[in-house]
């Protein structure tokens, strides 16, 4: 090779080497960048899978649109699926005036399933398993849809709801998750006079006017009066199960939170409708009214509720159903309670945002035979008072351990005292 050729080759190699090296470096950089992107995508996919299985969201401090905190999770997301729920188990030991044995019960295990289609349409539902067993076996149990409703939001003052609806009366028919009421069992007034959990198929409107006034108003399937008894109207609930719909009913509710006294809530509700459902029974009209108030300030919490119901033609209805003279359906029923509680955890253990220890006391009176028709005899064992004292310990705001003692006294006959223990949770 001549010297000139050699120099030419050397020059060419000197020119190509940086280009080749640059090309190799650029390729390596691209590969490294792709590897970083794959790693980032892998980590993001893992995070999304974890969040789908165990969402990091906390329960809202208060419920929304007439639902409890766990049932309100659907309203806190932009769109898509929401899952929540609650459960409660108890131990009960009658200790006086009773030969009944002590019992335990997996009382409820509930799943909330909601789906938000867009910012204006949301579906929400509650599916409940009761007593740890499905009905049909030797033990008594139940699987039930407690509510299943579509919400159509328009503006704060006026929105619409349709489906299997919770009747908006009292404190607990809509907000019945165990961390949000005192005692192992719900107050008897809200199980007997206001027959929680009480739901019917219907439609209506709800909304908030300003910051102080909230309302709900529905038209719903009425009661079936053939299920009424001396113990009350609870047996007349139809619960959306092939319900007779010859008679409809109206229910409305207002809640007011005055600015002058923070922590105070005042409210009331009214229900009216026929209940004979064109079954050949006497013309039967039912109305129910209740008023309620609660005050929460710092560690102090108190509630009060009074409810009254009236059944027209109760005597004729009792005769048509063949009730005994001392087991008639009453013309009127009433019940009410007052309760107070105080969180003593800060006084003994210092401030803690998660834990609470709340002793409580509740006094209530129930009378499902307040006024009976002429020719019938009042069953005074169904007029009774209950003094409940207990303790609720919250190791977490959504987990509660409960203890309760209930002293029951009837106007006639005996009613057993009870010691009860329970656990409850919501998520």
Mean pLDDT by 10 residues, the chain (427 residues): 48 46 63 77 63 54 88 92 96 84 94 96 95 66 91 97 98 95 96 96 97 96 97 96 96 96 96 96 97 96 98 96 93 98 95 92 97 94 97 96 96 93 97
pLDDT at 16: 46
Q: How far is CA 74 from CA 68, 78, 84, 117, 126, in A?
A: 11, 9, 9, 11, 12
Q: Which domain holds residue 370?
A: 79-426
> Would you call the peptide bond into 197 cis, given omega within 30 degrees of 0 as the criterion?
yes
Look at residue 51 and tell me if it is in a domain.
Answer: no
CA gap 205, 343 in Å, rounded: 37
Kindly report the pTM of this predicted structure.
0.84
DSSP H helix total and E strand total for the chain: 4, 16
Look at residue 72 and tell me if it is in a domain.
Answer: no
**CA end-to-end span of the chain:** 85
Look at residue 73 and tell me if it is in a domain.
Answer: no
pLDDT at 228: 97
Domains: count for the chain? 1
pLDDT at 277: 97
Look at residue 84 and tell me if it is in a domain.
Answer: yes
CA gap 374, 216 in Å, rounded: 37
Look at residue 395 and tell me if it is in a domain.
Answer: yes
pLDDT at 7: 42
pLDDT at 28: 74
CA gap 304, 317 in Å, rounded: 32
CA gap 211, 236 in Å, rounded: 37
Beta carbons of 287 and 314 less than 8 angstroms apart = no
Using alpha carbons only, give the angle 327, 329, 335 rounded to the nearest 5 degrees.
105
Beta carbons of 355 and 325 less than 8 angstroms apart = no
Beta carbons of 69 and 75 less than 8 angstroms apart = no
The CATH number for 231's domain is 2.40.160.10
Rg (the chain; Cα; Å) = 31
Long-range contact pairs involving 93-99 (C-beta distance under 8 Å, separation at least 24) = 93/418, 93/419, 93/420, 94/416, 94/417, 94/418, 95/416, 95/417, 95/418, 95/419, 96/416, 96/417, 97/414, 97/415, 97/416, 97/417, 98/414, 98/416
Which residues, in sequence order, are CB contacts of 368 under 8 Å at separation 6+?
192, 193, 230, 231, 232, 330, 333, 382, 383
Look at residue 100 and tell me if it is in a domain.
Answer: yes
Extract the tokens encoding 81. 């699926």
* Upper half-sphere CA count for residue 304 (Cβ side, 13 Å): 7
Beta carbons of 70 and 180 less than 8 angstroms apart = no
User: Scanning the structure block, which residue is given the tokens 């009870």?
Assistant: 418
CB-based burial of residue 206 (10 Å sphere; 0-12 exposed, 13-18 middle, 19+ buried)? buried
pLDDT at 135: 59
Helix/strand/coil for 319 = helix
pLDDT at 132: 81
Look at residue 341 and tell me if it is in a domain.
Answer: yes
pLDDT at 62: 79
Look at residue 14 and tell me if it is in a domain.
Answer: no
CA gap 326, 344 in Å, rounded: 47
């Amino acid at each position: 090779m001549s010297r000139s050729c050699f120099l030419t080759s050397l020059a060419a190699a000197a020119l190509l080497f940086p280009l080749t090296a640059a090309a190799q470096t650029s390729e390596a950089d691209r590969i490294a960048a792709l590897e970083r992107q794959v790693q980032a995508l892998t980590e993001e996919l893992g995070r999304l899978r974890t969040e789908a299985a165990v969402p990091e969201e906390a329960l809202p401090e208060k419920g929304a649109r007439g639902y409890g905190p766990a049932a309100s999770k659907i309203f806190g997301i932009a769109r898509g699926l929401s899952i929540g729920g609650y459960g409660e188990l108890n131990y009960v030991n009658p200790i006086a005036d009773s030969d009944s044995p002590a019992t335990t019960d997996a009382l409820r295990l509930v799943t909330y399933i909601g789906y938000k289609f867009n910012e204006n349409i949301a579906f929400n539902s509650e599916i409940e398993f009761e007593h740890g067993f499905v009905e049909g076996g030797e033990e008594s149990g139940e699987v039930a849809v407690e509510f299943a409703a579509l919400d159509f939001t328009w503006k704060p003052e006026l929105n619409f709801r349709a489906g299997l609806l919770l009747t908006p009366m009292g404190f607990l028919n809509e907000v019945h998750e165990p961390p949000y009421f005192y005692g192992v069992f719900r107050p008897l007034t809200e199980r007997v006079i206001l027959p929680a959990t009480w739901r019917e198929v219907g439609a209506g409107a709800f909304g908030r006017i300003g910051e102080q006034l909230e309302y709900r108003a529905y038209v719903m399937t009425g009661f079936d009066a053939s299920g009424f008894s001396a113990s009350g109207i609870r047996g007349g609930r139809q619960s959306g199960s092939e319900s007779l719909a010859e008679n409809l009913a109206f229910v409305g509710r207002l809640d007011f939170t005055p600015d002058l006294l923070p922590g105070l809530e005042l409210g009331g509700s009214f229900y009216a409708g026929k209940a004979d459902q064109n079954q050949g029974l006497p013309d039967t009209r039912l109305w129910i009214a209740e008023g309620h108030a609660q005050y929460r300030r710092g560690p102090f919490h108190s509630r009060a509720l009074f409810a009254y119901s009236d059944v027209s033609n109760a005597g004729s209805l009792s005769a048509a159903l063949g009730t005994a003279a001392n087991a008639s359906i009453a013309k009127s029923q009433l019940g009410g309670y007052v309760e107070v509680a105080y969180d003593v955890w800060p006084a003994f253990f210092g401030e803690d945002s998660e834990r609470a220890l709340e002793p409580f006391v509740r006094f209530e009176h129930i009378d499902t035979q307040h006024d009976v028709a002429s020719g019938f005899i009042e069953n005074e064992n169904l007029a009774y008072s209950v003094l409940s004292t207990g303790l609720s310990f919250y190791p977490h705001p959504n987990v509660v351990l409960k203890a309760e003692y209930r002293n029951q006294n009837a106007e006639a006959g005996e009613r057993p005292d009870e010691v009860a223990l329970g656990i409850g949770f919501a998520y």
